[in-house]
């Protein structure tokens, strides 16, 4: 279960760095009844039918993010 929280945290940082976290959260809350997983909302936000390209980009971002010095990561997270 801990890995799920870490994954969600990193994905939120990924969205935040792209300026999409607020928009995703707002749309996700509005559509929670019809889209409880948020996958349809996410596909709409990125204008894709298949999330594989988003997954590939997220994984590359996460690997690069982990290699940044802690101070840089903390500054980015604070934005």
What pLDDT score does 5 carry?
86
Average pLDDT, whole number, for the chain?
87
Q: What DSSP assignment string belongs to 44-74?
A: HHHT-S-THHHHHHHHHHHHHHHHS-HHHHH
- Tokens for 54, please give them: 């988003």
What pLDDT score does 56 carry?
95
The stretch 35-57 carries a mean pLDDT of 94
State the residue range of the domain holding 64.
2-78
Contact 12/21 with Cβ under 8 angstroms?
Answer: yes
Tell me the pLDDT tens digit for each residue of 9-32: 999 999 999 999 999 999 999 999
Distance (Å) of CA 48 to CA 19, 56, 72: 18, 13, 31
pLDDT range class, residue 3, cuts 50, 70, 90: confident
Percent of the chain having pLDDT more than 70? 82
Number of domains in the chain: 1
């Amino acid at each position: 279960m801990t890995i799920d929280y870490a994954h969600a945290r990193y994905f939120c940082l990924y969205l935040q760095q792209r300026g999409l976290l607020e928009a995703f959260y707002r749309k996700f809350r509005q559509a929670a009844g019809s889209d409880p997983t948020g996958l349809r909302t996410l596909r709409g936000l990125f204008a894709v039918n298949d999330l594989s390209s988003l997954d590939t980009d997220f994984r590359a971002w996460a690997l690069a993010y982990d290699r940044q010095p802690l101070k840089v990561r903390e500054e980015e997270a604070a934005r």
